[in-house]
Amino acid sequence: MIRAVLTAALHQARVDLKPSVLGPSLISLLFPGIVLGILVWVNGPDSKFAHGFGPFLLTGTIGALAALLPLELVSTYYSERVSGTLLRVRTLPHGGLAWSIGRALTHLTTLTITQTGVLVVVLVSFPSLGIGPAQVALTAAVALLASMACAPIGFILGSLVRNVYGMMLSMAVILGLFATSGAFIPLSAMPTWVGVLQALLPFRWASELTRWALLGAAEPAVTASAANVSVSVGAHPLLCVAILAAWAVIGFPVAAQVVRRGFRAETLSTLEKVRSTLRAQSGL
């Protein structure tokens, strides 16, 4: 059974990835790296940005981008619920499980491409950081852990969203949490309640952990310059790992139950209700 499910999931992921990786959509996956690369280029290699806030921003962004995984899962869930795909999947043996794994693999792969693009910008733009293969490998492991911690959020929200307003609200919340994760603006510059909220979620810790992985062994002058922006650079890496691991270990069993229950609720009547609600909300 497991082999059949994995085979189906891998086939689905391969089919879904072809247009994203081999077509013009690849530009959209690399867009964050392109924008950040232009930002570094505009400021110049000798600017304060290049020797201070730049490394802080880019290294934290790699981890924070894990928030795109639940964002994509919520969007995919809703679009395939409305199209009737989830209902068709439900009729297949272990269809829900294969679909969930396949979608997770698809979005994890596209996310990895985006994160790799940003990492390449870091390596090319900041050679003075002295980032070596060991740090790159550690960053890859951290990024994977961050994705595993964030994925259950997407599965749970995707299973619960039943109308376009719910989807828009969910995506707005995720984007808000992504923006306030500390990757772009230091948490010390935000209201206290934002820091408290982010301490309970994986986004902040993903950002801090990738920053630690890349800046933790950097030259002291560079590290100190970046650390002036946030006291948490490189701090408590074991705490970051523990929180992300807890989200993954606890989140996936909970998400599995929610997804399983959600697929049981996929019927012709619920599909028609979702489509009717969509037409009403669209004014049709």
The angle at the Cα of 248, spanning 184 to 100, to the nearest 5 degrees, equals: 100
Instruction: Tell me the range of 96-100, 247-251, 256-260 where mean pLDDT is highest.
Output: 247-251
| Tens of pLDDT, residues 10-58 | 878 888 888 777 777 788 888 888 888 888 888 877 777 777 788 888 8
Find the DSSP H helices in the chain: 2-22, 25-43, 48-51, 53-64, 68-82, 85-90, 95-125, 133-160, 164-179, 192-199, 202-215, 220-227, 237-264, 268-281
Please check the confidence at residue 223 and state whether its pLDDT lies above 50.
no
Mean pLDDT rounded to a whole number for the chain:
83
Predicted local confidence at residue 221, as pLDDT: 39
Structure tokens at 91: 């009729």
| Tens of pLDDT, residues 260-269 | 888 887 878 8
CA distance 152 to 252: 6
**Read out DSSP for 27-46?**
HHHHHHHHHHHHHHHHH-TT
The angle at the Cα of 62, spanning 57 to 67, to the nearest 5 degrees, equals: 110
Please check the confidence at residue 115 and state whether its pLDDT lies above 80.
yes
Structure tokens at 202: 């994986």
pLDDT grade, residue 230 (50/70/90)?
very low
